[in-house]
Amino acid sequence: MTAQCMDYLGIYEHIHFSSVNNPGNTIPLFHSGSTEANNFTSAHPGFLALYGMEWGVISGGGHVVVYGDGMDDLWGWESGAGAWGAANNYDVYVPKSIYTGSTGLFKTVNDNVAKNTFATLAHPNLTDYNNLANIAYDPVADNAITGSAVESGPATSTNTTYSNPGSSLSYLFYYQKMLSLGYHLGPTMDHDNHNTTFGHTTYSRTAIIAPVLTKTAIVVVCAI
């Protein structure tokens, strides 16, 4: 909130459990994040806090950022008892590393359109998301995806003087490839913070044009 030219901040956490705090997400923690973001916004007029999820794993197809207005369910694949606890670690089951098709992440995003749910692609590689950029145009994916990162990070920086820029448009190639295939999406610049340096590490920003600074207005614009 104290960073220059920042009217909103969206925090998206990994949805799976690796170990405590790494990222260690569970259903109660995910739900509390959404509640805390809403409460923070209410207590700080003029600033908008958003909480979403970073779905997927890099080794299994890449990360997708998911937000919604009223979409506060944790989507995951960790079934049965495990390090996360005694029950399934998700509200909604989405198979691990399945992005396309009738059971995939993008179909699930579309199933939640009434809650203005949308997805953006984080630090994409050419073969990510079930090789989406190398296959025929997928209308289901197009309806779900509204943005793709053209720049990301620096994820692990501790800099707070705006002097450590991100990846210098290193993902622009993927965005251009998706446009050439017919996808309707905008460019984003994610900070991908792994430290609490939000907004202070680099000057890069993702701008959203909306009529008012509210969760509903911002999310609806992004979901269109």
CA atoms within 13 A on the CB side of 9: 22
pLDDT at 18: 86
C-alpha 189/C-alpha 90 separation (Å) is 28
Closest of 100, 186, 184, 83 to residue 135, by C-alpha: 100
Share of the chain above pLDDT 70, in %: 100
The angle subtended at Cα 130 by Cα 125 and Cα 134, nearest 5°, is: 70
Q: What is the dihedral of CA 195, 201, 202, 204, to 10 degrees?
A: 40
**Phi, psi values for residue 154, rounded to 5°:** -75, 120
Mean pLDDT of all residues in 200-209? 96
> In the predicted model, is pLDDT for residue 57 greater than 90?
yes
Structure tokens at 196: 């609490």
pLDDT at 59: 94
